[in-house]
Structure 1
Amino acid sequence: MALRRWLLLTGNRRAVVLALLVGVYLTLLPLGTLAPGEINALLGDRGSVAALLNTLLSGVILLVSVVASIASLVVSQELSPVGRQRERVESTREFRESAEALIDREVSPAEPAAFLRAMTRAVLERAQRLDDAVAGRTPAHPGADEAVAGDLDAEVEAYLDHAAANTERVNRTLQEADAGTFEVLLAALEYDYAGQLYALRRLRSRHGDQLPEEASEAIAELVDALQFFLAAREYFKSLYFEREFAELAADLLYVSLPAILLVSYAILAVDLQFIDGEIAGVPFILVFAAAAYTVALGPFAVLTAYVLRVATVAKRTLSAGPFIIEEDGFEFGE
């Protein structure tokens, strides 16, 4: 599980690329010892090796062109008239002013990590205010299903515990990481805002006529705070996607040019039959072909490492709306 999380989310993408390439090489190399006769016969036909490397070389060149086009498309979204840029600035200012009123500060934090902590703290404070407002108001029903209202005080207490656990998990993630754009997004992904919104709406539906005015106001403020949190998370996600595609394009270019040169040299070396002999009983052509094949897969490994994380983030943020899609969503009062 830890390895899967590192591969999909937390691992440095360049380290993931290196791990993938090492895995490919260590998988190919033992083939010469498992089936030496068949492998030697295959590698004896130098034309087959050269044809495979030539196919991979064409694929690398095509991949660079495609990713460069995607990166250009992402960058083009930032190119807009001055009027639209001014609207974006005004929208950001209005959002910050609303957030400052929500967290009760004259100036909202400029760093994403501090801003996220302030938002989760605001949610927790309002959850505590809701708990104080309904303390001691307990109807007789146990609330065994969706249709029957249960213990109001117990349900609010359960919500408060859940909000506190979410806040603690987010703060722990931010403290353990460098609090960069992705670290902030990762912490936001661990915050179950959708489950909290659902719990608040069901709480208001079940006990709307029994809620005191202070509790109703606290629920309204909680909903506003969670919606602000969602807006901030989606903004951080957009920043992360832009940065990730920019880094993908740069790393792909860094890897592709050496890969093209080395694979081209490998094709010439195989065609001219420069490769011969053995190393520790293993044909040198196998060692050389496995290395050339691994180098040729370098750009594809870069693409795989970045797309895996982007796809994982996109999948984890599908609940940006009224539904809870994650399997581990908060089950309130079930």
Structure 2
Amino acid sequence: MTTETRTERSVQEGDTIRDRIVTWILLEGNRPIVAAGIVTAFVATIAVLISVDILAVGPDSFAATIFGSGLTSGVFTIVTIALSINQLILSWVFGTPDTLTARLDGSRSLRHKVEELANRPSSPTDPAAFLSLIATTLSDRAADILTVSDSPGWQAPDELTAAMEDLVAYGRNIDDSLGENAPLSDTLGVVLGPEYALNMATVHRLRNDYSSTLPGDARVDLRAIEELLESIAVSRQFFKTMVLQQDFAALSRQLVYSGLLALVCVISLTLIYRMNTVTIPLSTLPIVISLGIGIIISPLALFAAYILRAATVARKTISVGPFIPPQNR
């Protein structure tokens, strides 16, 4: 088996409208809006099925039994889910003083490393600006090696020159992809692909192959480039933790709100049914039932919307460093 290394010039982006839509649904889109889309599709489907008499919701149907038993117990299950999510969040937030100090030291160490490599007295606190600093420093370091290669007395190998040109483009592409004051999920989405790992593996091999022939400044820059790519890997994992914590906290709160509303709705829909009759005009019953079911499934839609993003982030950040699952290449 041969080992192939290559450099990437840009981060992964959707090439087609379908890819962009899928990315928006799975990762970048506002979660309540995605959930609202799920609810709308469900309500429309139920309304169509009722209108063509595939689903029966009249006084002599089993709708009252479904609302009074199955859906009510399902809504109460939302409370259990919300409690479990809260416990998960608390397990992340709480810790011993030693654990919390270790987390703080780790984040400060990352910031100090990037500040040293960028020759800056401090680094931004905004995640997008911090990642932009890493990207621009990466481009500058790679450009410095290209400048050295153009000077007399040393001829850079073609392979090294091509790799540095790709890294200059890669850093600039990351910087261009970052929006000002962008949501944290959008910042994370820029570096979800395997490009940093491919570039890290290539830079490591180039250092091993050409370290003895590189001028001193180029050797320092190449080592800095590898450390900057490592910083992208660490930042990616840190941003992932922050995104999941924010999402699960928001999900827990929204499940409580929507669950209470769904409980009121399911009780109300159960009580409009009486023996062989209903308390509202029969002509409005299909609309009321369709909208009511939409409210009832809203907690499940919210849960699905947030879990889709969590699963997508977890799948794409399953490894740290230059190990890339075949399906992600």
TM-superposed CA distance for 1:311, in Å, is 1.0
Provide the secondary structure at the position in 1 that maps to 2:191.
helix
Counterpart in the other structure of 2:8: none
Query: How far apart are the structure 2 equivalents of 1:166 and 1:128?
Result: 12
Query: How far apart are the structure 1 equivalents of 2:141 and 2:274?
Result: 73
Provide the secondary structure at the position in 2 that maps to 1:179.
coil
TM-superposed CA distance for 1:190, in Å, is 5.3
Provide the secondary structure at the position in 1 that maps to 2:57.
helix
Counterpart in the other structure of 1:43: 57
> What amino acid sits opposite 1:302 in the alignment?
L
Residue 21 in 1 paired to residue 39 in 2? yes
Query: How far apart are the structure 1 equivalents of 2:308 and 2:60?
Result: 35
Contact 2:127 2:184 in 1 (8 A): yes
Judge which range, 18-27 or 65-74, deviates more: 65-74
Q: Can you list the C-alpha shifts for 1:293-330, whole angstroms capped at 9, x where unaligned? A: 2221111000001111111111121242221237564x
TM-superposed CA distance for 1:10, in Å, is 1.7
Contact 1:194 1:319 in 2 (8 A): no
Counterpart in the other structure of 2:311: 311
Structure 1: which 5+ runs fail to align?
Answer: 138-150, 330-334
Any residues of structure 2 matched to 1:153-232 within 5 Å, and which? Answer: 153-175=157-179, 178-189=181-192, 192-208=195-211, 210-232=213-235
Structure 2: which 5+ runs fail to align?
Answer: 1-17
Query: How far apart are the structure 1 equivalents of 2:118 and 2:256?
Result: 44
Counterpart in the other structure of 2:252: 249
Contact 1:46 1:271 in 2 (8 A): no
Query: How far apart are the structure 2 equivalents of 1:200 and 1:73?
Result: 38
TM-superposed CA distance for 1:120, in Å, is 0.9
Query: How far apart are the structure 1 equivalents of 2:223 and 2:271?
Result: 71
TM-superposed CA distance for 1:96, in Å, is 2.5
TM-superposed CA distance for 1:19, in Å, is 1.0
Provide the secondary structure at the position in 2 that maps to 1:29.
helix
Contact 2:255 2:302 in 1 (8 A): yes
Query: How far apart are the structure 1 equivalents of 2:86 and 2:157?
Result: 53
Judge which range, 240-249 or 73-82, deviates more: 73-82
Distance 1:204-1:84 versus aligned 2 partners, 3 A rule? closer
> What amino acid sits opposite 1:172 in the alignment?
D
Distance 1:108-1:270 versus aligned 2 partners, 3 A rule? same
> What amino acid sits opposite 2:257 in the alignment?
Y
Query: Cα RMSD between the aligned structures?
Result: 2.7
> What amino acid sits opposite 1:246 in the alignment?
A
Judge which range, 180-189 or 3-12, deviates more: 180-189
Residue 58 in 1 paired to residue 58 in 2? no
Query: How far apart are the structure 2 equivalents of 1:71 and 1:326?
Result: 35
Counterpart in the other structure of 1:143: none
Query: How far apart are the structure 1 equivalents of 2:98 and 2:321?
Result: 30
TM-superposed CA distance for 1:135, in Å, is 4.5
Contact 2:198 2:322 in 1 (8 A): no
Judge which range, 100-109 or 76-85, deviates more: 76-85
TM-superposed CA distance for 1:50, in Å, is 2.1
Query: How far apart are the structure 2 equivalents of 1:44 and 1:5?
Result: 41
Distance 1:98-1:325 versus aligned 2 partners, 3 A rule? same
Amino-acid identity (%): 26
Any residues of structure 2 matched to 1:1-334 within 5 Å, and which? Answer: 1=18, 2-34=20-52, 36=53, 38-39=54-55, 42-44=56-58, 46=60, 48-53=62-67, 54-135=69-150, 153-175=157-179, 178-189=181-192, 192-208=195-211, 210-271=213-274, 273-275=277-279, 277-279=281-283, 284-325=284-325, 329=329
Query: How far apart are the structure 2 equivalents of 1:209 and 1:21?
Result: 62
Provide the secondary structure at the position in 1 that maps to 2:262.
helix
| TM-score under structure 2 length normalisation | 0.83
| Aligned pairs, number | 307
Counterpart in the other structure of 2:5: none
